[in-house]
Amino acid sequence: MKTKWIACLVVFALFSCEDLTEVNKNPNGIEATDVNPDLILPTVLTEGAKAYTNLGFGDVAGVMQHTQYDAWADSHNDYNWYDQSWSAYYGVLRNNKLLYDRGVKLDQKFHQGVALVMKSFMFGLITDLWGDAPYSAALNGETPGIENSQAKFDSQEDIYKGIIADLKTANQLLAEFDTANPGYSNDVDVIYQGNAMGWRKMANSLLLRYYLRISPKLSSDAKTGIEQIVGDPAQFPIITDPEDDATMAYVGNNADDAWPSNSVYDASGSNFRRIKMCATFVDKLESLNDPRLDLWAKKIEVPLVVDNTLPAGTDEIIDGVRYLAPDVVDGVIIDTDPDYVGIPPSFSALPSAYNMNPTPGQLSYNPHVSFLSDMYQEAKGDLLKSRLISAAEVHFILAEAALNGWNAGDAEEHYNAGVAASLQTWGLGDAYGDYITQPDVVFNNTQQQIIEQKWIASWTVATESWFDYRRTGYPELTTGISAKRDRLPLRFYYMQAEIRLNADNTSSAIDKLEVTGFSQADGKNSAWSRPWLIQGTGKPWN
């Protein structure tokens, strides 16, 4: 027995003297310094695009009243937010930094350019959502010799300026790109399939987005930047045709790469079933005879009819129509539109009960409210795409710039082109002639009309509409009785983990927020406090 113990001790001693960092290596792994950037690129693009869609088709669609949930609704409908995390966004950025670093090491200008575009897109999203945030020191965690356990927060102004500088550099790198660059394979580019011109157009279109974003605070910079882009299309090509939109199609092979509301991989079907059209959006589309409503939403299954001639207490379905006596609906809010009905925003703590639903609750299937169209329960489809920036958005940006008196073309022409591009995006280009001639669609030379059409065109990407709303106050939206506040929120809360682990830097960022009358018990770190971008603007509400 003693001999066996001695042998064991000898073996342990031999291995304990060896460096564990050398022993604990994955023989099938690869060092970051050796990785092929083509292996990183698809992850950056798909994860970034999915994160953006999850926002614009998720809770922000509730804020901007495209949709309402009829179950698990307090976050989507009522802004009961507490701890939104930016971890996923920084996860994309960490991979993106490796993509950029490997592009520099291998002198691959395409990868460098794409990485700078995606860096700008993701950091733009972070600062748009939160305000000040880790930026210049955010991705140094694995850099030798740099202490980065508590990354400093850069000002929102500096982040936007950094984004603009990076997009200009990206445009130049992509202009210099040689498609014969060794080691490049275009099948990994899920957005532009290796087309450098597509990425240049995206970079410069994002420049337009961020110039307009900062215009309330840095008007001169915004005007000069937009006029430079419009004045030199050879140097600054932009997206003007929907065929050049920056989109990522969902392939639907599994739950991770399928449209987020699909019922294919969600056995319960609740991801689709709980989403309903919002009354605000439905009413606007109906008032404009907008053909997109028929594509995006389903007609109600059972219309309601209130008939004064019916005996008291009558409530019956005849030939697919539910007939109600006036006393049955006394004191109840209902919508008797025979075609489309949306749930009002923040309607109640039990939104599934709306419009006399006979089966309220989490398993409800309300026949009196419009579901989204059936394509949104598919895993993939021709129209099921992440839309990062589009021709419609670009034309509406330029329409607004022209309305400001900037040298950006004709406001009406860009407005009309924005409407046409959105209709074309959804396969409804033939409807343009009839739609654009309607009295409430014909251009009336106002910012409000431009922003409202941009809001309609932002279906599934409502995040951009939220940022426009903060800047302009349009569309004019009101909250419902169950909303956490009776104004729409302005930003996301800094999360508790960041406050706890990076206390000094987070505290400094919070101190720079401007408290409003709706910050209330939240204090400065409130979804109703103003970040730098809208401080002093009086927008979107007082």
Alpha helices by DSSP H, listed for 83-179, are 87-105, 109-130, 156-176
Count Cβ atoms below 10 Å from residue 78 Cβ, excluding itself.
24
pLDDT of residue 149: 63
Q: Which fold has domain 32-244?
A: 1.25.40
Share of the chain above pLDDT 90, in %: 87
More confident residue, 179 or 381: 381
Confidence of residue 363 (pLDDT cuts 50, 70, 90): confident
Mean confidence (pLDDT) of the chain: 92
Give CA–CA dist 494/503, Å, rounded. 11
pLDDT at 1 over 90: no
> What is the end-to-end Cα distance of the chain in Å, rounded?
84
pLDDT at 362 over 90: no
Would you say domain 389-494 falls under CATH 2.30.30.30? Answer: no
More confident residue, 161 or 142: 161
Instruction: Render pLDDT for 236-294 as a digit per residue (tens, 0 to 9).
Output: 999 999 999 999 999 999 999 999 999 999 989 999 999 999 999 999 999 999 999 99
Give the mean model confidence (pLDDT) for residues 129-155. Answer: 81
Yes or no: say if 216 and 471 are a contact pair by the CB < 8 Å rule.
yes
pLDDT of residue 25: 52
pLDDT of residue 13: 40
Confidence of residue 26 (pLDDT cuts 50, 70, 90): low
Domain residues of the chain, as ranges? 32-244, 301-336, 389-494
Integer Rg of the chain from CA: 26
pLDDT at 115 over 90: yes
Which three-class secondary structure state does DSSP give residue 237?
coil
Give CA–CA dist 337/299, Å, rounded. 10
pLDDT of residue 184: 65
Confidence of residue 5 (pLDDT cuts 50, 70, 90): very low
Yes or no: say if 156 and 132 are a contact pair by the CB < 8 Å rule.
yes
pLDDT at 21 over 70: no
Confidence of residue 27 (pLDDT cuts 50, 70, 90): low
- Who contacts 262 (Cβ-Cβ below 8 Å, separation ≥6)? 252, 271, 272, 376, 377, 378, 379
Task: Render the burial of 146-171: b for 16+ CB within 10 Å, e for the rest.
Answer: eeeeebbbbbbeebbbbbbebbbbbb
pLDDT of residue 172: 97
pLDDT of residue 34: 78
Sheet holding 304-306, edge to edge: 304-306, 321-324, 315-318
Q: Lowest-pLDDT range, 181-190, 281-290, 394-403, 495-504?
A: 181-190
pTM comes to 0.93
pLDDT of residue 9: 35
Confidence of residue 12 (pLDDT cuts 50, 70, 90): very low
Yes or no: say if 132 and 160 are a contact pair by the CB < 8 Å rule.
no
pLDDT of residue 413: 98
Instruction: Render pLDDT for 313-332 as a digit per residue (tens, 0 to 9).
Output: 999 999 999 999 999 999 99
pLDDT of residue 82: 81
Instruction: Render pLDDT for 151-164 as a digit per residue (tens, 0 to 9).
Output: 999 999 999 999 99
More confident residue, 126 or 21: 126
Yes or no: say if 484 and 467 are a contact pair by the CB < 8 Å rule.
no
pLDDT of residue 15: 39
More confident residue, 375 or 149: 375
Give the mean model confidence (pLDDT) for residues 29-49. Answer: 87
Burial zone of 107 (CB within 10 Å; 0-12 exposed, 13-18 middle, 19+ buried): exposed
- Who contacts 62 (Cβ-Cβ below 8 Å, separation ≥6)? 68, 69, 75, 76, 77, 79, 278, 345
Give CA–CA dist 412/246, Å, rounded. 24
Give the chain's length. Answer: 542
Give the mean model confidence (pLDDT) for residues 3-25. Answer: 42
Give the mean model confidence (pLDDT) for residues 464-481. Answer: 97
Yes or no: say if 242 and 389 are a contact pair by the CB < 8 Å rule.
no
Give the mean model confidence (pLDDT) for residues 490-506. Answer: 95
Instruction: Render pLDDT for 338-347 as a digit per residue (tens, 0 to 9).
Output: 999 999 999 9
pLDDT of residue 6: 35
pLDDT at 536 over 60: yes
